A and B are shown apart, each in its own frame.
Chain A
Amino acid sequence: MSTLLVDARPVDHPTARQRGIGRYVTGLLTGMRDIDAPMIALYGTDAEAEVLTDTVPGLTLQRWSPQVVRDHAVDGTWYIATQLMLHPIPLDPIPRCITAARLPVAAVMYDVIPYRYPEIYFTDPNARRQAALRAPLARTVDTMLAISDFAATTAADELAFPLERIATIGAGVEARFRPTTGDPRAALGPMLPSRVGRYVVTVSGSDDRKNTDGLLHAWTHVDRSLGDDVHLVVAGAHTPDVLQRWEGWAADAGVADRVVFTGALDDDELVALLQGAALAVMPSLEEGFGLPVLEAAACGVPTISSNVSSLAEVLDDPVACFDPYDPQAIAAAIVTALTDESHRSALLAAGRRAVERWTWSNAASATVEALEVMGPRWSQRTRRPAARLAVAGVFGDGVGGNDSGGNDSGGNEGVVAALRASGSDVTALVDTGGSAEPTHAATHAAIASGDRWPVRSLARFIKPWDFDHIVAVLGAAPQHLATSQMVRTVPCHLWIHDEAIVGVRFGANLQALEIARSVIVGSADTAELLRRAADHSCPILVVPPGVGPTESADALRTWLDDVDHLDASTIRHTSPPVASSDS
């Protein structure tokens, strides 16, 4: 195996970070680091890099870019897609450069619970459509890495994916979940009322599949002779309507004085709550893995769980399991686990075995082994994708029959056509300014083939890191509105065609100059003006008026090949030569 390129973006995703997927990715990266796997964690933003540096120090980190993929596009490299099951699909689970390099893809399979219960999770038409899209996308991957055998078999069924191409890699538990010799109650403060003595804890969400209703029913069968101070503690944030239903039901059943709902709690509080419990109960009807079971066991608490879905796999011992559909059986399991010391010892032993078995290092080792054994699904020829460029600006006649930005080089479409003719992979980012003219209609004649997007789609529908270079062509015409806005936030190569823009309008756009990777202008005078105007200097290329599209494209291609290696003070002149070469 050469290299594992792991998508690390979910660690700071707005919805995934606090959910299982963000934590799972962090854990898997930790395991890969610990077994010294040949792995690179790919991030998209500085915030993601910061999270990764803080939580998994020692990782090999690289920002997503076509160049990273190109550098590792050799036989034996795998891409590990960690957000295939994260909504919505435009999160870009398999970036285009991965497909372009024909790298084999292994996707982490967390669960297909929404597919199994569409009447609950797919009530929104859009959710149904996205699910319908995800299935064919999943079928294009080479291998799935399931977090449990249950996730593997259900994914094979629901997504019509060959089961023999799915490996179970399991999961692990964070180091913070461990036994304590101190007093965990001290960390809980007022979360637990003073009347609470021994307590049975369950970590649950609001979903019906968590079976908290079943546990509450079971609690009515737990004899009060165990002691009035024995409580059931339901931990987790719950929606107000669900909480109201549960509290009302507990009151009707006469157990309200023996049940505590904690509400939202942070990680430290959760650990303390588990450490102080007499018993942990996980009655869920369906999970992808069942991490709360493992977390409770890791805290040294006797733990019992339901015997269905993946939950039975976690503790992997029949003595620790019960039928979650039978409240009497749940109650009996709770009473035995609270009163029978030999049974408690057996539960603790089962927990210790589970904690030794389910580690992030083991998950990482299982990943590496599975990929080595299975190999790619198809005999694809891995290749180094060509450099991918984007040219942003006005194309064709421009909207309203105007010019194409004062471009003397035959228009942006001419440059793009010349670049494409020379084999470059170029995407046109089309700017129609504030016009309502459909961009596909405005540009269809000018660039009838090849990839094209509106400028405004950048960062939303396509990502800046999809490209090696983005060249933003700026003129003074209003149609450049979207381009001039984009260059303030995305580092680009600014190609300033309209000389007046430098002095008249660009003074207000210095932010673009400060983050620009390079600037391309039409005269040495303009180059000097820019050098004086911008706080941050970057290499400057001078392409004088009259240079044709083919020559412009050649100069641009050479410039982009060189620019990352040039000194920031460089000013290069394109033929016809003006005064001097690189300074």
Chain B
Amino acid sequence: MGRVRGDHTAALAAEVAALREVVLNINHVVTQTHDTVNQLNHDVRSGAEQTLPLFLGYSERLRLDADTAIGATHVIERQLALLDERLAATSGSDPS
């Protein structure tokens, strides 16, 4: 079993922080995407009957993608918290 050096711990902490920032940005992008799809949905319903089925398919796919992306951030957030805990245990400090 290898040992974890102090610089490894610092590097991992930086990775955790970078991943957290990615999570935060996904949260915003996804919600914005969801809003945009909703708006487009209203627009298309009011003016483009022929392409409606195709558009509805795309919009539903985008909605599900948004859900999935948020699910990914949930998973990443929990993994980050547990990783924080192990880093703290390794370095003997309190986790953030």
> Are B67 and A90 within 8 A (Cβ)?
yes
B79 to chain A, nearest CB (A): 6
Query: Which secondary structure dominates where chain A touches chain B?
Result: mixed
B27 interface neighbour in A88, A449, A452, Cβ under 8 Å: A452
Q: Please judge, given known A-B contacts A89-B75, A94-B78, A137-B78, whether A126 and B65 are in contact too, CB under 8 Å.
A: yes
Contact A133 B81 (CB under 8 A): no
Secondary structure at the B interface, as helix, strand, loop or mixed, is: helix
Which among B24, B29, B81 has the greatest number of chain A C-beta atoms within 10 A?
Answer: B24
Q: Are B68 and A136 in contact (CB under 8 A)?
A: no
Chain B residues in 8 Å Cβ range of A451: 24
For chain B, the bracket of interface size reads: 20 to 34
Q: Across the interface, do A440 and B24 meet the contact criterion of CB distance under 8 Å?
A: yes
Q: Distance (Å) between the CB of A13 and the closest chain B CB?
A: 15
Which of A264-272, A332-340, A453-461 is found at the contact surface with chain B? A453-461
Across the interface, B31 reaches (CB within 8 A) one of A99, A379, A453, namely A453
B82 touching A133, Cβ below 8 Å:
no
Kindly state whether residue A438 has any CB partner on chain B within 8 Å.
Answer: yes
Q: Is B30 engaged at the interface, CB distance under 8 Å to the other chain?
A: yes
The answer on a CB contact under 8 Å between B75 and A137 is: yes
Annotate B60-96 by CB proximity to A: 1 below 8 A, 0 otherwise. Answer: 0100110110111011011101100110010000000
Check B31 against A454 for contact (C-beta < 8 Å): yes
Query: Which residue, B31, B61, B70, has most C-beta atoms of chain A within 10 A?
Result: B31
Q: Which residue of B lies closest to A100 (CB)?
A: B81
Would you call A439 an interface residue if the criterion is a C-beta within 8 Å of the partner chain's C-beta atoms?
yes
Interface residues of B in 1-58 (CB under 8 A from A): 21, 24-25, 27-32, 34-36
Contact partners of A461 in chain B: CB under 8 A: 27, 30-31, 34, 70
- Interface pair A440/B28, CB less than 8 Å apart: yes
Interface contact A126-B75, CB-CB below 8 Å: no
Q: Cα distance A6–B93 when bound, in Å? A: 31
Return chain B residues, CB-CB under 8 Å to A456: 31, 34-35
Nearest Cβ on chain B to A562's Cβ, whole angstroms:
28
Contacts of B27 in A (CB 8 A): 452-454, 457, 461
Contact yes or no, B31 A136, CB < 8 A: no
Q: Which residue of B lies closest to A443 (CB)?
A: B28
Q: How far is the CB of A466 from chain B (nearest CB, A)?
A: 11
What per-residue 1/0 map shows which CB atoms of A64-100 lie under 8 Å from chain B? 0000000000000000000000001110101010011
Please report the C-alpha to C-alpha distance between residue A136 and residue B25 in the assembled complex, in whole angstroms. Answer: 21
Cβ of A37 to closest chain B Cβ, rounded Å: 26
- Distance (whole angstroms) from the CB of B38 to the closest CB of chain A: 9
B82 — nearest CB in chain A belongs to which residue?
A: A140
Alpha-carbon distance A257/B95, docked complex (angstroms): 70
Are B71 and A88 within 8 A (Cβ)?
Answer: yes
Task: Point out which of B35, B82, B86 has the most chain A C-beta atoms below 10 A from its C-beta.
Answer: B35
Residue of B nearest to A96 (CB): B77
Residues of A with C-beta under 8 A to B78:
94, 99, 137, 140
Name 14 interchain pairs, CB-CB below 8 A, sorted by A.
Answer: A89-B70, A90-B71, A94-B78, A96-B77, A99-B77, A100-B81, A133-B75, A140-B75, A140-B79, A438-B28, A439-B31, A443-B28, A452-B28, A456-B34
Q: Which 3 A-B pairs have the closest CB atoms?
A: A89-B71, A440-B28, A457-B31
Besides A126-B68, A137-B75, A140-B82, 19 other A-B contacts (C-beta < 8 A): A89-B67, A90-B70, A99-B77, A126-B64, A133-B72, A140-B78, A140-B79, A378-B86, A438-B29, A439-B28, A440-B24, A440-B29, A449-B21, A452-B28, A453-B31, A454-B28, A456-B31, A457-B34, A461-B70
